[in-house]
Structure 1
Amino acid sequence: MTDLPSWGVASDSPTAEHYRTFGALEARGSSAVYEDWALGVADDAEMLGLIDELPRAKRQANLVFAAMRVVGVPIASWQGARGEAIARWPRIREVALTHATQTNEAARCAVLLPQLARIPGPLALLEVGASAGLCLYPDRYTYRYTDDDGTVTRIDPVVPTDVVIDCRIENTAPPTHLPDVVWRGGIDLNPLDPADPETLAWLDALVWPEHHDRRARLAPAARAAASDPAPIRAGDLNDLIADAAASAPADATLVVFHTAVLAYLRPEDRDRFRRTMAQTDALWLSNEGLGVFPEFERVMPPGERHRFVLAVDGEPVALTHPHGRTYRAL
């Protein structure tokens, strides 16, 4: 009797459902490799068993796939990559346990800029979940916004840059100037050093395989951050937010912002942070997936649940691409 293969078998486990959803909704149309890997893993009993050995917080597709790439699993179809993933699992497991999905995409500044440009300066920027701090420099990058009729608006910093960010902007005029930033700081459970080669290698692994523009942008954005490093405090954002905010200069407008961060908090910790922001004088920019604030469901069109919702002081103002490629004003 021939044994049945351990993959190609449907599973309804929570891990399988996570990978199936990731492949069908998040990766589809953005990464053919990750779509194929995710849907392959979702029906692979042996691989699911290995992933389920990890703590729940470490089973997410972005983390496991980045760990696979760090240890040398080839960028190929799932059928072509599966054998190496199984063989290298002990090392993949080690990387997943010791790393986190601290994706630091400088292009997310493009969806923050339309709001930052409206705030009277000078500005003090405080990012929670800052990673290596690449999003703390929205005034140092070049932007090219393409509006509804195809017109491109280019905005350049005073000092020329190698970081060029393209963004489609809809339902509103693009910004025309960069903010005057006089102070910047961050909070992260595990701050990363943008000058460290191993850090850059991990951030590179977190970039999806086909996203060549993001990969090309990473190194120059890291150089910009390393040339003028912002202080990033290590610890829990709820524990540190008040003290970090108090460090900002009193004569600047404090803007607290975050992207794809609150989803990693427990609901009660998320509520605590929200209460803190409601009680502070800072302006609060939140750019998060739909599950973070379920009440934002009302602004999300059918079929676009993969979008992020950008909110100002808790009020939705735009739908954005998770990696900063599009901004659609509400």
Structure 2
Amino acid sequence: MPRDQVALVFSQQAGACARLGSPLYGALLERVARDIKEEGPCAAVLEGYEDTGHADALPLRMMGAVHALVLTGRAPELAEHYPSAGGVFDPEHPDAGWPAFRAAVAAEPDWVRDWLERPPQTNEVGRASLLLAGLLYAVPTAALPVRLFELGSSAGLNLRAEQFHYRTPSFSWGNPDSPVRLDPVWRGDPPGWLTEGARRHQTLRIVERRGCDITPLDPLSPDGALALRAYVWPDQADRTRRLEGALRIAAKVPATVGAAGAAQFLSGVELEPGTLTVVWHSVMRQYVPDAEWAAVERELDRLAAASGPEAGFAHIAFEPRTVGELHRFALSVRLGREPEECLAFAAPHGLPAWSPGQD
């Protein structure tokens, strides 16, 4: 796409970030868009990416690259404006950090271009609230041990979702001493299916945790942890705290994430008697080509067809979808051979959720 179109993509992402509670990124991305049009240093590092589509999340790749510069001490002037690095964000002058941002891009073009080749991997911990809710719905009354498989797992943080604490003023589930506390998980009172599932299953037994990703991250490595931190928006302290808590849990609760596409990964999954096999994913569908997703759906159908009372299967997804004229993020659950059900909607980062018809 032409340079003006690239600038438009950045401007649109600016609006999205502002709406989602990051005035810092909202302001900086607008300045990046202007710099692209003016053929500044941002345009220079983005040269060659003119044909990149919306699904490639180019603005988030670039912001992650610069955030990584800040977190590694390579952009100290910009760090003064990034709360994640101890800086101060001035809401009265949201783009005060722009000169330092522009200078950092100009000084480190190779670093930025290297990060542009990486898909953004937030492994957003807040989305676990939807996945866990779907799991409580899916586990039968006579609880079976759960085998958990995640598509687009990134660092596998949400493969430890039952280790987190979830609450609203009228509801809670999980270890209250967990370093990850998700609150509020629901707008108003949660639905009956969730409270009943939480009552029946005050704990869940996860006997297998496996995920796949095209470029998986190791949350226990310095580089992996840096990437996860870099993709969290620097003025969103709650998300940063959740990530840090999830990294502490990851150090204690093992999970395996292999380098593989979603369809290839699922082709090696079989049901096991006496267990509930769960495949889940959150906000990753947009990064999968349509042809591969068709293969994913065939594998999901295969697992569903093989399920029964002795070997359960559930597919849990938190993904964007169009509902009427609205674009929403929806929790859907498919139990065995039953049709898919839409159980809830939520903010893109997962908190809070609400029932259909509640808005």
Q: TM-score, normalised by structure 1?
A: 0.82
How far did 1:110 drift? 0.9
Q: Distance in 2 between matches of 1:63 and 1:189?
A: 16
Q: Which residue of 2 aligns with 1:91?
A: 111
Which residue, 53, 64, 69 being the options, matches 2:48? 53
Q: Which residue of 2 aligns with 1:264?
A: 287
Q: Which residue of 1 aligns with 2:349?
A: 323
Which residue, 21, 24, 27 being the options, matches 2:12? 21
Name whichever of 103-112 and 79-88 sits farther off.
79-88
Which residue, 265, 271, 284 being the options, matches 1:240? 265
Name whichever of 200-209 and 45-54 sits farther off.
45-54
The equivalences for 1:1-330 within 5 A come to 13-44=4-35, 45=37, 46=39, 47-54=42-49, 56=52, 60-72=58-70, 73=75, 74=78, 76=81, 77=95, 79-80=98-99, 81-97=101-117, 99-118=118-137, 119-120=139-140, 121-122=143-144, 123-145=146-168, 151-157=169-175, 160-170=177-187, 172-173=191-192, 174-175=194-195, 176=198, 177-243=202-268, 245-246=269-270, 249-281=272-304, 282-290=313-321, 296-298=322-324, 301=326, 305=327, 307-313=328-334, 314-330=340-356
2:64–2:230 contact (8 Å) kept in structure 1: yes
1:142–1:165 contact (8 Å) kept in structure 2: yes
**Letter of the aligned partner of 1:310 in structure 2?**
L
Q: Distance in 2 between matches of 1:234 and 1:84?
A: 32
SS in structure 1 of the partner of residue 251 of structure 2? helix
How far did 1:152 drift? 3.4
Evaluate the alpha carbon distance shift between residue 262 and residue 218 of structure 1 in structure 2; reply closer, same or farther with a 3 A threshold: same
Evaluate the alpha carbon distance shift between residue 288 and residue 52 of structure 1 in structure 2; reply closer, same or farther with a 3 A threshold: farther
2:164–2:182 contact (8 Å) kept in structure 1: yes
Structure 2: runs of 5+ lacking an equivalent: 82-94, 305-312, 335-339
Structure 1: runs of 5+ lacking an equivalent: 1-10, 146-150, 291-295
Q: Distance in 1 between matches of 2:276 and 2:64?
A: 37
2:164–2:181 contact (8 Å) kept in structure 1: yes
1:130–1:188 contact (8 Å) kept in structure 2: yes
Q: Distance in 2 between matches of 1:209 and 1:225?
A: 22
2:123–2:157 contact (8 Å) kept in structure 1: yes
How far did 1:156 drift? 2.7
SS in structure 1 of the partner of residue 8 of structure 2? helix
Cα shift readout 1:97-148 (whole Å, capped 9, x = no counterpart): 2x33111122211112222112223221110111111101121111112xxx
How far did 1:59 drift? 6.0
Evaluate the alpha carbon distance shift between residue 66 and residue 107 of structure 1 in structure 2; reply closer, same or farther with a 3 A threshold: same
Cα shift readout 1:245-283 (whole Å, capped 9, x = no counterpart): 22x643111110001111111122222212322332231
**Letter of the aligned partner of 1:56 in structure 2?**
T
Evaluate the alpha carbon distance shift between residue 317 and residue 13 of structure 1 in structure 2; reply closer, same or farther with a 3 A threshold: farther
Q: Distance in 1 between matches of 2:293 and 2:34?
A: 33
**Letter of the aligned partner of 1:329 in structure 2?**
S
How far did 1:26 drift? 4.0
Q: Distance in 2 between matches of 1:217 and 1:16?
A: 32
Q: Distance in 2 between matches of 1:117 and 1:287?
A: 14
Q: Percent identity?
A: 25
Evaluate the alpha carbon distance shift between residue 92 and residue 297 of structure 1 in structure 2; reply closer, same or farther with a 3 A threshold: same
Name whichever of 104-113 and 134-143 sits farther off.
104-113
Q: Distance in 1 between matches of 2:287 and 2:31?
A: 25
Which 4+ stretches in 1 moved above 4 angstroms? none
SS in structure 1 of the partner of residue 65 of structure 2? helix
Q: How many equivalent pairs are there?
A: 301
Cα shift readout 1:5-60 (whole Å, capped 9, x = no counterpart): xxxxxx97332222122111344241001111222222222223531334727661
Q: Which residue of 2 aligns with 1:5?
A: none
Q: Distance in 2 between matches of 1:124 and 1:203?
A: 25
Q: Please give the root-mean-square deviation of Cα atoms over the aligned residues, in Å.
A: 2.4
